[in-house]
Amino acid sequence: MTLKLKVNERKTRIVHSDEGINFLGVVIGSTYTHIQEKKLKMLKIKVKQITRRNGGMNLAMVLEELNPVLRGFVNYFKVANISQILKPLTGWIRRRLSAIQLKLWKKVLKLHRILKLRGF
């Protein structure tokens, strides 16, 4: 029985695992796995679209929209070693979220009052 499939010679190649193999957004090497840079840039673009300061949404709405995106990204790429990538990424996302909150508070006096109430 023949399947009559043709191999796409532009996409198919034989390489050693030391060079790394790109497969479904992950670079797989003989001693490592990590996320392709293109996929990380796509996530950052999507997060930037959601966390715009002039979006007109309060922080709860932004988080409601952002959480499924981040959860999906982490669950998909957890096979790769992403702990080193997630630490600076979460700091960057927190900074964007705090910028949204500061924009919503609008005035410095309101910021001081809220920080005093929270014990800072």
What's residue 70's pLDDT?
94
**Entry pTM:** 0.74
d(CA 107, CA 9): 61
What does the pLDDT look like over 19-69, one tens digit per residue?
777 888 888 877 878 888 899 999 999 999 999 988 778 888 999 999 999
Q: What are the structural domain ranges in the chain?
A: 37-117
50, 69 contact by CB (below 8 A):
yes
Nearest CA-CA partner of 27 in 63, 75, 81 = 81
